[in-house]
Amino acid sequence: MPRQPKSRLGRKYLTSAALALFLAAGLAAPVPARADVDDWPMLHAAVFHNRDIIEGDGVVILDAPAQADDGALVPITVRVPPEVKGPLKSLTIVLDKNPVPVVAQLHFGPAAGEGGERRFSTRIRVDSFSHIRAVVETADGKLHMTKGFIAAAGGCAAMNAKDPTAEAEGMGKMIVKTFPPALDTTPIWQGQVMLKHPNFSGYQINPNTGELIEARFLEKMVVKRDGELVFTLDGTPSISANPNFRFTFGRGEHNDLDVTMTDTDGTVFQAQSKPSGS
Amino acid sequence: MSNRYSDNAGPFPVTRADVLRGLTALAALPLLRALPVRAEVSASGDAPEMAVEEIAPGVFVHHGRYELQSPENLGDMANTAFIVGDDAVAVIDTSGTAIAGEAFRKRLREVTDKPIRYVINTHMHPDHVFGNAAFKQDNPEFVAHKNMKAGLSVRAETYLASSERMMGKEAMKGTEVILPTREIAEKETLDLGNRTLVLEPQQTAHTNNDLIITDEKTGTLFLGDLLFSRHIPTLDGSILGWLDLIEKFQDRKATRVVSGHGPISMTMPSSLDDEQRYWTVVADDIRKTIAENGTLEQAVKTAGYSEKDKWKLFDVYHRRNVTAAFAELEWE
Ligand SMILES: [Zn+2]
């Protein structure tokens, strides 16, 4: 669906606090998207400084629905197959047409693990029909990209809370889980982080005032295993309400995850997984 | 299940013969008269017919189509109704565009010229509220659950945009979001003159602003989209809340019940059996997936598919239902 650039949402969004945050974070600025314009050259420059990107070489695989059932909650999974060896530096997920095109950027640490398929899953808001890209930076500094196309609409403006009262009550609730592999010898484990948080996009209207609700979203997440960094994640409101992440990490001694999340209000949410084997 | 339309699967649930029968029956009413076609209506050559049936004395219901919004159906998907009292008329839901709402109003005016005092919306969804604009000329109170104003306001732009995408600009002519002027926070009655309507706001279920209405005179209960039959239920509220509400409805007495999407006259509580089974199967399957550390993507591919052949529009809405239900149940 072509966006209406004259919509009061689009105009106001550009003046919202979120813009400054994205600029400060070095992420791409939200730019009103047009269906007939290829945004990739602009994004390539803004997010990747026009560095060479190898496309479709199989280093990164993206699972995303061609047709999203709910634009406010679109599950995506990025995979790096076992054949790809060596540590990864970063992963960037970009949705060309979203008001905030960068969905998330991860920087991996020593506990990110290797020696099996590496995965990262989350749920995103998709505002209009758009290309989605996953760009992985390997240890040699090369960028590898795969892209897909998602048909969905209304994810960013949609007030995701189906029951705002119930939602507000549970805010801050956090769950961290680990899933051991079937075989003890497998070097890759899985973890999950869930946070009750509206992840306000800055696009939603407060019905009582008619004004836009200030953006308030998950800005930073730090995941550690037994004290060592798995990854840091820079988040944006293109991540769905109640942010939900599944990811792989390298097997350690205890495999305890320690997760710290900070939102744009500076509120810190923290939780640990239960000790494994218990 | 007493259901007058159980054999009628066509796109027009009410046939022309039904309409004529209904109108003949109405001819006895002293106020029946045909009004000149309004200019707004004639602007659209193909306004939907919006036939109504009198399911109980003074209770007229239009059977919406089991379809997605399209330029052809102009948003005529939800069941809509009007109830005629001695002094005034109440409308319950107004269909999905101003054009459809206007056609419905025209049908109403062929039945009665009493003032339209209330336009009641059972909840915020566009196929139930986007015809409201057609009734502005009557200056009624627009009545809804106390949560509807907020719910509809935040979704207004999305609803307008997606309706236009599905039906086109022409179909959306005159359509606007009209917010309630009277909000129902607890059980309340409306008087139509020797005819009382009881309005009861409900807990979060289909949406967080479901309102049910009882016409005391005939014992007719309007459940809005808390009751789907044949048309697959859709979830925009809480699966747990909905299942809980169906449980609570088991003891409720009503002479007949009108669904939001489905047959226009059914019996309580058996009419709720199908949707109760659907949501139970969906919840059970999702819980199984979650217990096995499965993901949302897995649940969307596996949960609830034993229901596939039991519902119209299953392929359109089921995956979305599972998505919403999973996002709720994973926090249990
Ligand atoms: Zn509905």
Residue B111 pLDDT: 97
Instruction: Find the range with the poorest average confidence among A41-45, A103-107, A210-214, B270-274.
Output: A210-214
Task: Please indicate if any CB of chain B lies within 8 Å of the CB of A3.
Answer: no
B123, B148, B154: best to mutate for the A interface, most A CBs within 10 A: B154
Residue B61, SS3 per DSSP: strand
Residue A63 pLDDT: 95
Query: Is A77 close to B297, i.e. CB distance below 8 A?
Result: yes
**Which residue, among A186, A175, A192, A177, has the nearest Cα to A250 in the 3D structure?**
A186
Residues 6+ apart with CB under 8 A from B32: B26, B110, B111, B112
> A-B interface: how many C-beta pairs under 8 angstroms?
80
Question: Tens digit of pLDDT for each residue in A102-139?
Answer: 999 999 999 999 999 999 999 999 877 889 999 999 99
Omega of the bond prior to B269 within 30 degrees of 0, cis?
yes
Could you say which of B150, B295, B323 has the minimum Cβ distance to residue A69?
A: B323
Task: Please indicate if any CB of chain B lies within 8 Å of the CB of A174.
Answer: no
Pair of tokens at residue B289? 């997936």
B117 contacts B141 by C-beta, under 8 angstroms? yes
What is the arithmetic mean of pLDDT over A155-181?
Answer: 77
Residue B301 pLDDT: 95
What is the arithmetic mean of pLDDT over A240-261?
Answer: 96
Task: Please indicate if any CB of chain B lies within 8 Å of the CB of A77.
Answer: yes
The full set of domains in chain A, from first to last, is 8-275 (2.60.40.2470)
Residue A22 clears pLDDT 70, i.e. is over it: no
Ranges of each domain in chain B? 17-268
Orientation angle between helical segments B314-329 and B273-291, nearest 10 degrees: 50
Query: Is A164 close to B320, i.e. CB distance below 8 A?
Result: no
> Cβ contacts (< 8 Å) between A208 and chain B: which residues?
150
Q: Which residue of A has its CA nearest to B164?
A: A1
Q: Which residue of A has its CA nearest to B237?
A: A162
In DSSP notation, B65-118 reads -SS---TTTTTTTS-EEEEE-SS-EEEE---SSHHHHHHHHHHHHHH--S-EEE
Residue B40 pLDDT: 35
Q: Which residue of B has its CA nearest to A241?
A: B327
Q: CA B310 to CA B272: how far, in whole Å?
A: 14
Residue A71 pLDDT: 84
Q: Parallel, antiparallel, or unpaired: how do β-strands A244-250 and A74-80 relate?
A: unpaired
Instruction: Find the range with the poorest average confidence among A37-51, A257-271, B135-149, B234-248.
Output: A37-51
Query: Is A207 close to B236, i.e. CB distance below 8 A?
Result: no
Pair of tokens at residue A99? 């008001």
Query: Is B204 close to A162, i.e. CB distance below 8 A?
Result: yes
Counts for chain A of helices (H) and strands (E), in that order = 4, 15
Residue A97 pLDDT: 87
> Cβ contacts (< 8 Å) between B300 and chain A: which residues?
69, 75
Query: Is B320 close to A69, i.e. CB distance below 8 A?
Result: yes
Query: How close B140 gets to chain A, by Cα (Å)?
Result: 22
Phi, psi of A67 (to 5 degrees): -125, 115
Query: How close A81 gets to chain B, by Cα (Å)?
Result: 19
Flag whether the pTM goes above 0.90: no
Task: Tell the CATH superfamily of the B17-268 domain.
Answer: Ribonuclease Z/Hydroxyacylglutathione hydrolase-like (3.60.15.10)
Nearest 5°: the CA angle A85, A89, A94 is 110
Instruction: Find the range with the poorest average confidence among A143-157, A173-187, A251-265, B94-108.
Output: A143-157
Q: For residue B125, report the distance from its CA to the centre of ligand 1, in Å.
A: 5
Query: Is A9 close to B157, i.e. CB distance below 8 A?
Result: yes
Q: Which residue of A has its CA nearest to B153?
A: A207
ipTM above 0.95, yes or no: no
User: Would you give per-residue pLDDT tens digits along chain B (332 residues)?
Assistant: 333 323 332 222 222 233 223 333 333 232 222 222 333 333 344 567 899 999 999 999 999 999 999 999 999 999 999 999 999 999 999 999 999 999 999 999 999 999 999 999 999 999 999 999 999 999 999 999 999 998 898 888 888 988 998 899 999 999 999 999 999 999 999 999 999 999 999 999 999 999 999 999 999 999 999 999 999 999 999 999 999 999 999 999 999 999 999 999 999 999 999 999 999 999 999 999 999 999 999 999 999 999 999 999 999 999 999 999 999 999 99
Query: How close A204 gets to chain B, by Cα (Å)?
Result: 6
Task: Please indicate if any CB of chain B lies within 8 Å of the CB of A163.
Answer: yes
Residue A208 pLDDT: 64
Task: Please indicate if any CB of chain B lies within 8 Å of the CB of A170.
Answer: yes
Q: Which residue of B has its CA nearest to A213?
A: B154
Task: Please indicate if any CB of chain B lies within 8 Å of the CB of A172.
Answer: no
Residue B285 pLDDT: 98
Residue A214 pLDDT: 78
Does B27 or A153 have the greater pLDDT score? Answer: A153
Query: Is A207 close to B238, i.e. CB distance below 8 A?
Result: no
Nearest 5°: the CA angle A251, A257, A262 is 140
Q: Answer positive or negative: Cα dihedral of B128, B129, B130, B134.
A: positive
Question: Tens digit of pLDDT for each residue in A93-102?
Answer: 999 988 889 9
**Which residue, among A249, A270, A277, has the nearest Cα to A111 in the 3D structure?**
A249
A250 contacts A114 by C-beta, under 8 angstroms? yes
Task: Please indicate if any CB of chain B lies within 8 Å of the CB of A197.
Answer: no
Helix/strand/coil percentages in chain B, nearest 5:
40, 20, 45
Residue A33 pLDDT: 54
